[in-house]
């Protein structure tokens, strides 16, 4: 692993592949819960927040942009060759608005749901993935989209909340 800045030594991670770059100013919490594949890039001032009782896996060839925030309270699986644009946000927990309504929202119980991002996906600049979202392979999430539900392989999604705009055609579909 190398870094253009502060970085972290590879022995702090559960697993760390070769060619990993962690840029100056990036913060990694609970690195012992993170598995990072070969040739992963984590940009300047990104926050990768592992969690003491969950796992985060970042597949080989993944690019995580500057100022990105990834919070793995319920676990995150990021596939191979995923692009995560600058400023993107990925959350796996939220306060339960249906419980204990007499309490301030910040004092209500948390709900946890893992996030899965399939191989080859691309999350646009400032996009947001909320707890429980599962993206199939090669899903394109538009810049600024807020993804509140799961989408299948080859979807193109945009908006607040995100909705499916189109379906990319795979090579197998094109031949039929």
What the chain holds in terms of domains, given with CATH numbers, is 10-95+105-175 (2.160.10.10)
Predicted pLDDT of residue 5: 46
- Mean pLDDT of the region 32-39: 95
Contact present, 38 and 60 (Cβ < 8 Å):
yes
Kindly tell me if the per-residue pLDDT of 167 is higher than 90: no
Q: How confident is residue 173, by pLDDT bands cut at 50, 70 and 90?
A: low
Left if phi > 0, otherwise alpha if psi is -120 to 50, otherwise beta: which for 53?
alpha
Instruction: Tell me if residue 34 falls in helix, strand or coil.
Output: strand
Contact present, 93 and 49 (Cβ < 8 Å):
no
Cβ neighbours of residue 18 under 8 Å, at least 6 residues apart? 1, 38, 39
Q: How confident is residue 152, by pLDDT bands cut at 50, 70 and 90?
A: very high
d(CA 50, CA 55): 7
% pLDDT > 90, the chain? 73
State the first-to-last Cα distance of the chain, in angstroms, to the nearest integer: 44
Cβ neighbours of residue 14 under 8 Å, at least 6 residues apart? 31, 32, 33, 34, 35, 55
Q: How confident is residue 36, by pLDDT bands cut at 50, 70 and 90?
A: very high
Q: How confident is residue 168, by pLDDT bands cut at 50, 70 and 90?
A: confident
Lookup: tokens for 50: 């592992």
């Amino acid at each position: 692993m190398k870094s253009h800045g502060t970085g972290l030594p590879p022995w702090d991670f559960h697993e760390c592949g070769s060619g990993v770059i962690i840029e100056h100013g990036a913060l990694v919490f609970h690195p012992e819960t993170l598995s990072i594949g070969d040739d992963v890039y984590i940009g300047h001032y990104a926050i990768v927040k592992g969690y003491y009782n969950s796992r985060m896996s970042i597949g080989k060839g993944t690019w995580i942009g500057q100022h990105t925030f990834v919070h793995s309270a319920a676990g995150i699986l990021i596939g191979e060759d995923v692009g995560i644009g600058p400023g993107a946000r990925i959350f796996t927990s939220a306060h339960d608005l249906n419980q204990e309504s007499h309490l301030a929202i910040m004092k209500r119980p948390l709900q946890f749901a893992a996030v899965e991002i399939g191989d080859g996906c691309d999350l646009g600049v400032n996009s947001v993935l909320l707890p429980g979202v599962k993206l199939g392979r090669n899903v394109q999430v538009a810049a600024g989209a807020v993804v509140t539900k799961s989408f299948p392989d080859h979807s193109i999604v945009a908006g607040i909340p995100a909705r499916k705009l189109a379906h990319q055609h795979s090579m197998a579909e094109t031949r039929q």
